[in-house]
Amino acid sequence: RPVVTRPETQAIDMNSRSNTLADRDIVPSEQTFGFLGLGMMGSTIVKDLIFTKHKVVVWNRTIDKCQPFVDAGAEVKDTPMDVVEAADIIFCCVSDPKGAKDLVFGNCGVLQLKDLRNKAYVEMSTIDPDTSMDIGEGIKQCNGRYLEAQIHGSRQEAADGMLIILAGGDRTVFEECHSCFKTIAKNTFFLGNVGNACKVNLILQTILGVSLVGLAEALALADRFSISLNDIIDIFDLTSMKSPLLLAKGKEMAKGDFNPQQPLSHMQRDLRLVLNMAENLDQSMPVTSITNEVFKHTKRLGYSEHDSSAVFSNFYP
Ligand code: NA7
């Protein structure tokens, strides 16, 4: 089996700007915004918030990643708790539900501050509804306000300011985040109670995951017939089935270019969360279950950090 090399980590380009920002006429909120988690998504978001003149205080587990943001004008703090102390509205954007909970309930976490009056906490990490409700309850018990603001879109869409924000929880927080959301997203939806936005986000991810496996399996069959994958994609483009995302993913599969826009490990995490959610409802999800197995196996092949389109590799011996 060929050795799979990890994709190169791309350094954030602090000077790049999404073209959309010029047209959006953003008047920055006067509030101070905290940001926990400077991964690929978090970095891209914070970079644009600083550019649009928001006051930002940052923290990241690996502290070195904070330096470019400090150079660009942000303040850095030693712990999540310190960020909460310094900010009015705190965003969190980390890998998974466990990380999201650690930052709230853990040592030096948000709740160590005990009194969150006049503070609002906004969860952007992709999480399941139960985790969001637990976090929301913890924040509320300390008199804080809570909003889940799930970010739907790829890393490129984040860089283009073209995310979709799916929010649920405290509507006043949603409104107070307006200038931040306008900076990073093309659309925002307020979907009611805590949990609703997480459900909608995970349902969209189910459509994506299942579609990618279908696309990969079909292209692998074409390849076995020695039919050009580019021909298949060109014809697919002319059909009513076409979608910009599937076309882009098909091209990546044809080229074997799995530069991570939506890491495969995140896709599999989402499918796992979907299946747990469905399990609690006794909802049958046979296709999603198989899709999850395919992604799990592709992770074992070494493609966790590649793009979700690397699921194509699963169909080669
Ligand atoms: P990345 O680029 O993989 O970054 C993950 C970030 O999460 C990074 O800042 C990590 O810190 C941080 N992280 C992960 N686990 C923890 C724990 N346990 N405690 C503290 N911090 C943690 O992911 P993306 O930026 O692409 O995506 C982030 C979210 O946005 C994800 O939920 C997507 O679905 C949407 P590190 O730098 O490794 O110290």
The whole-number pLDDT of residue 159 equals: 92
CA distance 251 to 249: 5
Which residue minimizes the CA distance to atom 13 of ligand 1? 94
Q: 137 is written with which tokens?
A: 């309850």
Residue 65 CB less than 6 A away from ligand 1: yes
What strands lie across the sheet with 145-152, from one edge to the other? 75-76, 55-59, 32-36, 89-92, 120-123, 145-152, 163-169, 185-190
Residue 251 CB less than 6 A away from ligand 1: no
95, 102, 273: which to mutate for ligand 1, most atoms within 8 A of CB? 95
Q: How many residues does the chain have?
A: 317
The number of helices, as runs of H, and strands, as runs of E, in the chain is: 14, 8
> Which residue has 């292209």 as its token pair?
219
Q: Which atom of ligand 1 is nearest to the CA of 99?
A: 18
Q: What are the tens digits of pLDDT across the range 158-170? A: 999 999 999 999 9
CA distances (Å), origin 270, targets 72, 184, 304: 33, 22, 13
pLDDT under 70: residue ranges of the chain: 1-3
The whole-number pLDDT of residue 317 equals: 73
Q: How many A from CA of 101 to the centre of ligand 1?
A: 12
Q: How many A from CA of 60 to the centre of ligand 1?
A: 9
Strand-pair partners of 152: 164
The whole-number pLDDT of residue 2 equals: 60
Residue 53 CB less than 6 A away from ligand 1: no
Q: How many A from CA of 243 to the centre of ligand 1?
A: 29
Residue 266 CB less than 6 A away from ligand 1: yes
Q: How many A from CA of 6 to the centre of ligand 1?
A: 17
292 Cβ contact list (under 8 Å, min separation 6): 209, 268, 271, 272, 275
The whole-number pLDDT of residue 111 equals: 97
Find out whether 274 and 290 touch, Cβ atoms under 8 Å: no
The whole-number pLDDT of residue 162 equals: 95
Find out whether 247 and 236 touch, Cβ atoms under 8 Å: yes
Residue 126 CB less than 6 A away from ligand 1: yes
Question: pTM of the entire structure?
Answer: 0.95
CA distance 288 to 71: 44
Q: What are the tens digits of pLDDT across the range 59-81? A: 999 999 999 999 999 999 999 99
